[in-house]
Amino acid sequence: MSIPSVCKQYVLPKTGSIDNLIITETPVPQPKAGEILLKAHAVSVQFRDLMVINNTYPTGSIPNLVPCSDVAGEIVALGPGVTDFKIGDRVSPSFVDTLHGDVITTDVKASALGAPVHGTLTEYRTYPTHRLVRIPDHLSYEEASTLPCAAVTAYNALMGGFSPLKAGDSILVLGTGGVSTFALQIGVASGASVIVTSSSDEKLQVAKRLGAAHVINYKTTPAWEEEVMKLTNGRGVDQVVEVGGEATLGKSIASVRMGGSVTVMGGLAGAPGQAPVSIIPSAIFKSLKLRGIYVGSVEQFKNLGRLMAANPEVTRPVIDKVFPFEQAKEAFKRQSSQAQVGKIVIKVN
């Protein structure tokens, strides 16, 4: 394969608006020792990317940031000393560079693609081999590009906590975005009974097709925590995948069983300061496990791939829409609308 001397990438000269993104040209980098050069085929969009663009993400940004954290592509060149990968391998880099266990440090956060370091919305980029995970054979590049952040986060939420999910468990998943849809699919593949909430009956029908045992429209059923208790015969679910944040945390705690787990990884439903103090005695009384997570490790990414390969029909990523590279701004605007079910993908030239 002929490798060009320059490639196209998106940069963000100034935060505050999706329209500030521009396409520039940059030299194609040469892989150093222990690195590979990746030709990107697809990049997926996260809610986090919007926060970075709008300057609301806690780590901030850097000048002319290359956005996005998730990419799938093929290796087109090897740096000196690389023996565990070969040219032509289909791979995806992990969200962070240094998380190999379950310990979050400032170094881990400092390595996150798409903020605070340059991200993946570029045609060519180098990555260290210890960051790479092979793509399951049955997935397309577009499908595989959705895994590093959303899918690994969902896997960590369900499998990496105090009580890893097992067959026969019940889980509550809030919403139908990227993390939530993957949590539903991982739950179904693991033999769990999954309850999904959404404000859209159309999205809930998609959840049913993906294997949800029960669905709840929280607009027409505002006391959805009571409905969860009814559906579990007053017991509550074993785990809650909590992406709503402070505005929904109290209801999530009310939905979980005694000794159950609530894993928090988002704040889509409300701003800080909205969580009622009353959740504290509820959490204590239920002896529940409340856990915040920051994506997941390289090993969890590999384990996710094994789970997907073993359950290809029920874990195939749900893609809402694919945009061409030149229309990346439209992909971010689609993400901002929150009208999607599943993931939004940018196809790289």
Q: What's the rounded mean pLDDT across residues 192-219? A: 98
Residue 7, Cβ neighbours under 10 Å: how many?
20
Domain, as residue range, for 336: 6-146+317-347
User: Half-sphere exposure (CA, 13 Å, Cβ side) for 11?
Assistant: 12
Whole-number pLDDT of residue 336:
96
In a domain, 302, yes or no: no
Among candidate residues 183, 166, 170, 167, the one with its CA nearest the CA of residue 255: 170
Residues 24 and 136 in one domain: yes
Q: Find where tokens 């260290």 sit.
A: 128
Percent of the residues in the chain that have a pLDDT greater than 90, as a whole number: 84
β 343-347/319-324 pair status: parallel
Give the Å distances, CA to CA, from 286 to 124, 161, 235, 243, 282. 50, 17, 11, 21, 6
- Secondary structure (3-state) at 136: coil
Whole-number pLDDT of residue 267:
62
Alpha-helical runs (H) found in the chain: 47-53, 106-110, 141-144, 152-159, 178-189, 201-209, 224-231, 246-255, 279-286, 298-310, 312-315, 328-337
Task: Return the DSSP state at 151.
Answer: I
Residues 55 and 132 in one domain: yes
In a domain, 297, yes or no: no
Assess contact for 308 and 315: CB atoms under 8 A: yes
Is residue 271 over pLDDT 50? Answer: no
Assess contact for 62 and 116: CB atoms under 8 A: yes
Residues 243 and 129 in one domain: no
Give the Å distances, CA to CA, from 311 to 127, 191, 231, 251, 296. 29, 11, 27, 32, 21
Cα maximum dimension of the chain? 63
In a domain, 311, yes or no: no
Give the Å distances, CA to CA, from 209 to 20, 37, 190, 313. 38, 39, 17, 12
Residues 187 and 138 in one domain: no
The model's pTM is 0.94
Residues 66 and 157 in one domain: no
In a domain, 301, yes or no: no
Q: CATH number, domain at 285?
A: 3.40.50.720
Residues 175 and 201 in one domain: yes
Distance of CA 54 to the CA centre of its chain: 19
Task: Return the DSSP state at 74.
Answer: E
Mean pLDDT for the chain? 93
Residues 274 and 331 in one domain: no
Q: What residues contact residue 103 under an 8 Å CB cut-off, 6+ apart?
A: none
Is residue 2 over pLDDT 50? Answer: yes
Reported as a pLDDT band with limits 50, 70 and 90, residue 198 is very high
| Per-residue pLDDT tens over the stretch 40-70 | 999 999 999 999 999 999 888 899 999 999 9
Residues 287 and 181 in one domain: yes
Is residue 342 over pLDDT 70? Answer: yes
Count how many residues are written for the chain: 349
Look at the chain and report how many structural domains it folds into.
Answer: 2
In a domain, 278, yes or no: yes
In a domain, 219, yes or no: yes
CA 283, CA 287: separation in Å to the nearest integer? 6
In a domain, 184, yes or no: yes
Is residue 98 over pLDDT 80? Answer: no
- Secondary structure (3-state) at 283: helix
Residues 141 and 160 in one domain: no
CA 291, CA 262: separation in Å to the nearest integer? 6
Q: What's the rounded mean pLDDT across residues 136-150? A: 97
Residues 159 and 270 in one domain: yes
Residues 253 and 157 in one domain: yes
**Among 262-266, 284-288, 322-326, which range has the highest average pLDDT?**
322-326
Residues 236 and 158 in one domain: yes
β 193-198/214-217 pair status: parallel
CA 38, CA 90: separation in Å to the nearest integer? 9
Whole-number pLDDT of residue 302:
96
In a domain, 105, yes or no: yes
Q: What's the rounded mean pLDDT across residues 4-26? A: 98
The residue type at 186: I
- Secondary structure (3-state) at 169: coil
Among candidate residues 89, 97, 96, the one with its CA nearest the CA of residue 72: 89
Q: What's the rounded mean pLDDT across residues 171-193? A: 97
Task: Return the DSSP state at 293.
Answer: -
